[in-house]
Chain A
Amino acid sequence: MFRKVFYYVALMIPLLLSGDNTYSSRLSQSTSSQRRIAFRIATIEENKGERRVISLTTVEGAPGTDFDINLQGGRFQMNAHFLTDLIAQDTLKIRTRLDTRRLYGYSERSLPLFEEDNQRETLDMSFDEAIVLFPFGSNGGDDRLKIEITPNWSDEVSLTPAGEQRPLSINIQQPSSGGAVSVHASKTPHRFNVEASLLKDGHEVARGASDCLIEEQRELFLQPTGEASELIENFVVNFSLSSYVKTDPTDEIQIDFDLYRASRQNAREAIASKWSGIASLGSQFTYDLGNTPFGSGKNYQLRFKVNLAAGEKN
């Protein structure tokens, strides 16, 4: 009897320890994810070392709040789009899309000619760091304009006592003169779970699943299922969820994907390239591969199902 109890206790100790670790980490993650994040956005003019704040805005919302900074000044326009995600306890993943448009001149026919630039950057940052955006480049001369984006934990929590998400807030402490700088913010789901299945004659022969972030490519490896005794190849789906649209009764998503056949030597052969579609969230949507060289004469289909990741709200 004593020996039995001893065995049970000995067996339970590591489980309790590991369980406690997981639980505490989940709890702290859950607690932190319920806190809001405030992004302080300050537009600053620097002249020979002197700083002058031109505009100041604070965007505050649940983790995953996105914002846009627009700069509009005569010949120059900038749209800086920021997708933010809390990827670890104190780590933010900031994905930026920087689009600028500068009036270059006029053609012989007096039509305006523009210089356009598009850049994408991804930054992982902690809360003791800041992002500095230089709309006109970091070199400059005596006069330099920069936009400082500083994340901070807010004292407010993301959810109401009823479990609803609090609406985000945009607090304009100092508006820019003439509306040269404007800030917009939005909150849409960022984290999803995607399942992809390869079907032959309506039966699943390979399957893969993965979590994914909006506007980020993710590779799904489709592994042969039990029913696919004859299927010895591996398939890879290069998947990205490019946009999320709130609609009634169900929200819609836009996906883009490529499908490859991978050999054991890891050589890839494209089956479907740059395919895309729009579907309702949570629904199954199927692509017929019959018009590809791979599926010609066979009844192959690729089926997707995309859901919100656990903890994500729409």
Chain B
Amino acid sequence: MDCEQMERVSQLIDGELTEEEAAAMRAHLAACQICSQGHADFMLLRQEIKAHDFRLKPFAKERGLRDIIATRNPPLWKKRIGIPVPLMAVLLIALVAVALWSVMRLSRRPTGQEASVKRVTTDRHSQDVFNLSRFDHGDRVAIQKIKRVASVNQ
């Protein structure tokens, strides 16, 4: 029970046929019981679809909107960054190098007690006009009271 014109019945309902084709199809419907029945079924289905209430419940609508927005703006910890593999490799190598350098530097730092001191043996300020270094033998400053003699007043 089939008619090769059945597909055109659907096209007629959807308005996809030209005037001539639609007139020819209507004539066929009048003669073909299968296509006529099919046309009637299509129209009934269409009416039922139109009659259906498609309004969403507010809660479901809100949840649906939230889901859509969430897929467009994922949280920071779920975001993904697309980095080319060579760049990623260079970054990893640099990170490892910095970590190794830091460890080596920390292990070489002397403690306060171990810090060695370089004693000055030459005077860095030899350009001074009046060089006091020849008097300096590392002794403490001293002060004395003396009886005045003639040379003091000179």
Question: Can you list 22 A-B contacts (CB < 8 A)?
Answer: A42-B152, A45-B135, A71-B132, A73-B133, A75-B124, A76-B136, A78-B141, A98-B141, A106-B118, A107-B116, A108-B115, A119-B141, A123-B143, A128-B148, A132-B145, A134-B143, A135-B132, A135-B135, A135-B141, A136-B135, A140-B139, A177-B129
Q: Are B145 and A129 in contact (CB under 8 A)?
A: yes
By the criterion of a CB under 8 Å from any partner CB, how many residues of chain A are at the interface?
51
Chain B nearest CB from A123 CB (Å) reads 5
Q: 8 Å CB contacts to B: which residues of A106-162?
A: 106-108, 113, 117, 119, 121, 123, 125, 128-141, 143-145, 148, 150
By the criterion of a CB under 8 Å from any partner CB, how many residues of chain B are at the interface?
35
Is B18 in the interface zone, CB < 8 Å from A? no
Q: Are B125 and A74 in contact (CB under 8 A)?
A: yes
* B residues in contact with A138, CB < 8 Å: 139, 142, 144
**Top 9 closest A-B pairs, CB basis?**
A137-B139, A73-B132, A178-B129, A74-B125, A180-B130, A145-B135, A105-B119, A177-B130, A134-B142
- Which residues of A are in contact with B by a Cβ distance under 8 Å? 40, 42, 45, 51, 54, 71, 73-76, 78, 80, 96, 98, 100, 102-108, 113, 117, 119, 121, 123, 125, 128-141, 143-145, 148, 150, 176-178, 180
- With A104-B119, A128-B147, A129-B148 as contacts: A73 and B141 at CB distance below 8 Å: no
Kindly list 5 other residue pairs between chains A and B, CB separation below 8 angstroms, not including A135-B135, A150-B148.
A51-B151, A129-B146, A131-B144, A133-B143, A136-B135
* B residues in contact with A104, CB < 8 Å: 117, 119-120
* A residues in contact with B141, CB < 8 Å: 78, 80, 98, 100, 117, 119, 133-137
Q: Are B135 and A140 in contact (CB under 8 A)?
A: yes
Cα–Cα, bound, A166→B149 (Å): 31
* B residues in contact with A130, CB < 8 Å: 145-148, 152
Query: Chain A: which residue is nearest B133 at the CB level?
Result: A74
* A residues in contact with B7, CB < 8 Å: none
Query: Chain A: which residue is nearest B128 at the CB level?
Result: A74
User: Could you say which of A102, A108, A131, A139 contacts B143, with CB atoms under 8 Å apart?
Assistant: A131
Query: Chain B: which residue is nearest A138 at the CB level?
Result: B142
Cα–Cα, bound, A88→B135 (Å): 37
Q: Are B152 and A150 in contact (CB under 8 A)?
A: yes
Q: 8 Å CB contacts to A: which residues of B40-96?
A: none
Mask: chain B, 8-29; 1 = CB below 8 Å from A; 0 = not = 0000000000000000000000
Q: Are B143 and A113 in contact (CB under 8 A)?
A: no
- With A129-B147, A130-B146, A176-B130 as contacts: A136 and B110 at CB distance below 8 Å: no
Query: Chain B: which residue is nearest A98 at the CB level?
Result: B141
Q: Are B130 and A106 in contact (CB under 8 A)?
A: no
Cα–Cα, bound, A135→B153 (Å): 20
User: Could you say which of B118, B119, B123, B139 contacts A74, with CB atoms under 8 Å apart?
Assistant: B123
Query: Chain B: which residue is nearest A145 at the CB level?
Result: B135
Is B134 in the interface zone, CB < 8 Å from A? yes
Is B105 in the interface zone, CB < 8 Å from A? no
Q: Are B145 and A123 in contact (CB under 8 A)?
A: yes
Q: Are B143 and A150 in contact (CB under 8 A)?
A: no
Cα–Cα, bound, A117→B144 (Å): 17
* B residues in contact with A141, CB < 8 Å: 137
Q: Are B128 and A73 in contact (CB under 8 A)?
A: yes
- With A76-B132, A177-B130 as contacts: A96 and B139 at CB distance below 8 Å: no
Which of A42, A96, A123, A137 gathers the greatest number of chain B CB atoms within 10 Å? A137
Chain A nearest CB from B123 CB (Å) reads 5
Q: Are B128 and A132 in contact (CB under 8 A)?
A: no
Query: Chain B: which residue is nearest A135 at the CB level?
Result: B141
- With A107-B117, A108-B118 as contacts: A143 and B134 at CB distance below 8 Å: yes
Q: Are A54 and B142 in contact (CB under 8 A)?
A: no
* A residues in contact with B144, CB < 8 Å: 131-132, 134, 138
* B residues in contact with A137, CB < 8 Å: 137, 139-142
Cα–Cα, bound, A71→B153 (Å): 22
Chain B nearest CB from A157 CB (Å) reads 23
* B residues in contact with A54, CB < 8 Å: 130
Is B131 in the interface zone, CB < 8 Å from A? yes
Q: Are A75 and B145 in contact (CB under 8 A)?
A: no
